[in-house]
Structure 1
Amino acid sequence: MKALILAAGRGSRLKEYTEDKPKSLLEINGRTLIERSILNLQKAGFSEVIIVTGYLHKLLEDFIVEKYSSFCKVVYNTDYTRGSGSSFICSTPYLEGEMVIIESDLLYDYRILERLAAQIGKNSMTLGHFNHGRDEVKIVLQDGKIQKAFWGNPDTKADGDWVGFTKLSSETTKELRNNLENTDPDQGKEINYEDFLFALIGKYDFEAIDVSDLPWLEIDNEQDYLNAKQVAEKIDQNFS
C-alpha cells in the first residue's frame, strides 16, 4: 500500500518557527515531523510514500534524499501558494491502487496507520475529537457509515472530527484521479484538497476509524507545537 503526504504549505500560523524551514521539518523530541511520518509508514508496512513539497522545498527534499530516498518519491508543487488543491493536482500521476492520504502536520501513533492499512478494499477516514475551540472538519455518521464531512465550528453537531488521514480503495483512488484530471487545472489549484475528498463521500461508502484511544496531535499553531513534546513522549513509548 502507498501513502501520499501533503507537505507543500508554509505553515503561516507558525511563522516564528517556519521562517527558515517547512513545517514538516519542525523537530519534536529529536525527530522532525516528516521523519516521524516516514518511520511510522515503514513500521506499518507501507511500500512507498509520495511526498508533495512546496515551501522551501529544497530543504525538505535534501533531508528526504539523504535518509529515505529508497522509500520516498518527491513531487515539487510549484503552485503551492495557491492552496492544497494544487498539491492534489500535481500528485495526480501517482494516484493509483490502495492509498492513504496524510497531512504533514500530524504527530501520531503508527497504530493509526495499521488500522487504516487493515481496511483492504474499503474507504475510511479517521475520527477523533479536537478540544482546542477552533473550526475543524466535522463527521456525521449514519448506519455506521460517514454520511458527510464538512467544516464546522466547535458547537456544530456531529459525531466527531476528522483527524486528517484518509484511506481510499483502488476503485476510489481511480475515481479521485479521474476527477482531478477532468478539473480545470487553474480552477483545481484554488480548491482545498479536502473538497475533492468530500465529493467522494456518498458515491462510495466510507468507514469512520476511531483513533481517540491513541495519541495524536495536529500542529497548527504555537500552542500545539508547545504541547507536542508531551504527546511525542507517549507516542515514542509505543513505537519500539
Structure 2
Amino acid sequence: MKAMIFAAGLGSRLKPLTDTMPKALVPIAGRPMLEYVILKLKAAGFMEIVINIHHLGEQILDFLKANGNFGLSIHISDERSLLLDTGGGVRKARSFFENSNEPFLVHNVDILSDVNLKELYESHLRGGAVATLLASRRNTSRYLLFDSDQRLCGWVNKDTGQVKPEGFHYDHSLYQEYAFSGIHVLSPAIFQLMDTLRWEGKFSIMDFYLATCRQINYSGYLAENLQLMDIGKPETLAKAERFLYQSIQ
C-alpha cells in the first residue's frame, strides 16, 4: 500500500522552533512528529511513502537517511522551489501514483490520531468513491457537510455563514456536520480531474474537493469518537506527549 505525508508546510504557528527546523522534525516526547506518522503508516501496512518537502527540506532528507528510511521505500516530492499547498502537492506527486489503480492514503504530518489507517483504506476500497475523507465529531467553526449516504456535499463556516461550493444552500436538517481530520484516501482517478488550468500550481485539496463534489463522489469515513490532535500549534505541543501515551496504539 502507498501513502503520502504532507511535510512541506512552513510551520509558521510553531515559530520560533521552525526558524531552525522544519515543522515535520519538531519533537514530541523526544521524537519528530514525522517519525510518529511514518511508523503509524508502516504498522498499518503502508510500505511505500512519498514525503513532500519545502522549508529546510534538507534536514528531512538527512533525518530519513540517518534512519535508513525506516525500512520503507520512501520517495521525495521536492517543493523547495515553490510551496504548492495540499492540492498542488498531491498533483505534483502524481507520477508516484497515477500509473496504477491502487489508491493512496494522504496524511498531514502534524496530526496524531487513534484511527485504524488500514480500516480507513479498506473502507475506501469497498466504497468506490474517488476520495474518502476521515472526519470526526468535534467542536470547530468549519464543518464538512455529508448527506445521509455519507457523500460530501459542501462546507460551512459557522462563524461567518460562508458556504462552499458557490451557490450551495445549507439546510442543517439535511446534512451531517463533521470536522476534517487531515487524513484521506484518494484513487488515482483524482489526477484526471485536476487536468485543467484551474488546478495548476498552488491550490488547496479541500478547495478542489468542494469545487467538484457536485459532480464527483467523495465519501466520508465518519468517526464519532476519534481521538485526534493537531500538533501544529505551540499550545498543543505540551499536550501531545500525554495524548501519545493515552491514545496511540
Q: Does 1:216 align with 2:228?
A: yes
Matched position secondary structure for 2:181: strand
Structure 2 counterpart of 1:94? 96
- Percent of aligned pairs with the same amino acid: 21
1:163 Cα deviation (Å)? 0.8
Do the aligned residues in 2 keep the contact of 1:53 with 1:76 (CA within 8 Å)?
yes
Q: Contact between 2:136 and 2:178, CA under 8 Å: does it hold in 1?
A: yes
Q: CA deviation at 1:43?
A: 0.7
| Residue from 119, 126, 129 that aligns with 2:137 | 129
Is 2:16 the partner of 1:16? Answer: yes
CA RMSD of aligned residues (A): 2.5
* Offset from partner CA, 1:154-199 (integer Å, 9 cap, x none): 6866511111111123xxx22x212334336xx7323223222334
In the alignment, structure 2 segments of 5+ residues that lack a partner are 162-171
Q: Which amino acid aligns with 1:221?
A: K
The answer for unaligned runs of 5 or more in structure 1 is none
Distance, in Å, in 2 between the alignment partners of 1:147 and 1:41 is: 25
The farther-off stretch of 19-28 and 138-147 is 138-147
CA distance in 2, matches of 1:88, 1:219: 22
Aligned to 1:188: 200
Equivalent residues of 2:137, 2:226 under 8 A apart: no
**Which SS does the other structure have where 1:159 is aligned?**
strand
Structure of higher CA gyration radius = 2
Equivalent in 110, 118, 140 of residue 114 of structure 1: 118
Matched residues in 2 for 1:14 and 1:86: separation? 23
Shift in alpha-carbon separation, 1:129–1:197, aligned structure 2, 3 A: same
Paired with 2:236 and 2:113, the residues of 1 have a C-alpha distance of 13
Contact kept, 8 Å, 1:54 with 1:77, in 2: the verdict is yes
Partner in structure 2 of residue 28 of structure 1:
28
Query: What TM-score do the two structures reach when normalised by structure 2?
Result: 0.80
Deviation at 1:90, TM superposition (A): 2.0
Kindly provide the amino acid, as one letter, of the partner of residue 178 in structure 1.
Q
Structure 1 residues 60 and 213, CA, compared in 2 at 3 Å: closer, same or farther? same
Map of 1:78 onto structure 2: 80
Partner of 1:166: 184
Pair 1:80–1:216, CA change in 2 (3 A): farther
Aligned residue for 1:9, secondary structure, equals coil
